[in-house]
Structure 1
Amino acid sequence: MDLNIEKSGRKLQVTDVVSPGPMRAPDLTAVCGGSFTVHADIASVSDKEAKQFIICTGDPTIRHKVYAEIVRLGLTLARIVHPMAYIARSAMIGDGAIIYPGVFVGPYAQVGANVLLNAQGVIGHDARLDASVVLSPGARLCGHAVCGTAAFLGTGASILPKVSLGAYSKLSAGSVLSRSAGEGFLMHGNPATGRQIFHVGIDKAE
């Protein structure tokens, strides 16, 4: 999805939507409040260099793949933060991040590029989320916790202080990660246990 941002009125104008497959056009039209041009791929978007993009999928692996393509093309990602989210002044928010209402981002936290933080998510002080991480509603990272590239936290999942979830790993809904897990793990339970089942061969975008 492509956005033009009107800074004075804090309005978003959707001009283009890129969707390689079927989409709910009537619903999206109602949400966007106007018409837009639909494209099967990003190459057909006109004036790409003058526009800003957001990535709307909640699948972190797909998000990261699209993000890598946008970076490769030298295009600009919009950063969207809902006014009802709290972001500490010392926190860092990357390009392309989408932050929903009710999210708390604590002091010195690092939210990487293309991260998606759903409603009521909590990012504790000094926590770090690498590119394309997705947090479901109510998910929590405690202080100094880390999420690797394209990691996923289910609804209400938690990572305890100084614990890491590796790149492309998933922590299921309601689970609590109390010991660090490596790349490609599926973790479940309290305390969460699991095994490596994902082997994703996607080059990591910088």
Structure 2
Amino acid sequence: MTRQLVMCGGGSLAVEVAALLHDLGACGRGDGYFITDVVAPGPVRTADLISICSSPFATHTDISSVSDRDQKAFIVCTGDPTIRHKVYRELVSMDLTLARIVHPMAYIAPSAVIGAGAIIYPGVFVGPFVQLGANVVLHAQVAVHHDARLDASVVLSPGALLCGHTVCGTAAFLGTGASILPKMRLGAYSKLSAGSVLRRPAGDGCLLHGNPATVRRTWPVAFEDET
């Protein structure tokens, strides 16, 4: 059964998500989605989205203007983890349904748990007993090994690697090819830059770079809750 989908975001990540949905439809997946609305405060790549979706959609600047919200699923289509988490919290506060998009060419261990709103690209490996929180994004060629935990709204860029028993806090970000070694933790709202290797636990609100990764900048983090 094809469900109506609202995309929260209309930029490059939205275009990639539309392509993932096209693949799901081509594979005959029964949990496919049909894009009916795009919510974005800024520019929308309308022509590109229509060329992939092969059909028009309504555009909005605010979630509240989407009609029949309780009959549609929502997916957050922005790559900034802080913005992702803010939009996710808004959707949850409105008691709206989040879609879960998993490409058929990703490997997901049967014992892994995937939260609502997750986006998983082709070529991803998710190992046994991994816990993926709500609203996470795993780009192509990401590997998340056994017993790792990602909290809500974590974003892993292409080629990122999480070894066993690692933890990423809420809205953490890994750049392209970044790695976290076994049993290490990257704090909430922290960022590990492209190609960097985290060898020691890192706190909340840090920018880390290098191998071994060291803190280059910090910022205050305010936790409203752990939703």
Q: TM-score range by the shorter chain?
A: over 0.9
Q: CA deviation at 1:201?
A: 3.4
Structure 1 Cα separation of the partners of residues 143 and 29 of structure 2: 29
Return the structure number with greater helix share: 2
Say if 1:67 and 1:205, in contact at 8 Å, map to a contact too: no
Using structure 2 for the length normalisation, give the TM-score.
0.86
Matched, 1:37 2:58: yes
Matched, 1:99 2:99: no
Deviations 1:68-112 (A, max 9, x none): 000000001000100000000000000000000000000000000
Matched, 1:2 2:6: yes
Unaligned stretches of 5+ residues in structure 2? 8-20
Structure 2 Cα separation of the partners of residues 30 and 10 of structure 1: 22
User: Size of the alignment, in residue pairs?
Assistant: 206
Partner residue, 1:126 = 147
Structure 1 Cα separation of the partners of residues 46 and 226 of structure 2: 30
Partner residue, 1:60 = 81
Unaligned stretches of 5+ residues in structure 1? none
- AA at the equivalent of 1:105: V
User: Partner of 1:90: helix, strand, or coil?
Assistant: coil
Using structure 1 for the length normalisation, give the TM-score.
0.95
Partner residue, 2:47 = 26
Q: CA deviation at 1:57?
A: 0.3
Identity score, percent: 67
Q: 1:55 to 1:92 in 2, by over 3 A?
A: same
Say if 1:184 and 1:198, in contact at 8 Å, map to a contact too: yes
Q: 1:14 to 1:200 in 2, by over 3 A?
A: same
Structure 2 Cα separation of the partners of residues 11 and 76 of structure 1: 15
Say if 1:139 and 1:157, in contact at 8 Å, map to a contact too: yes
Question: How does 1:158-173 map onto structure 2 within 5 Å?
Answer: 158-173=179-194
User: Partner of 1:16: helix, strand, or coil?
Assistant: strand
Deviations 1:168-197 (A, max 9, x none): 000000000000000001010001001452
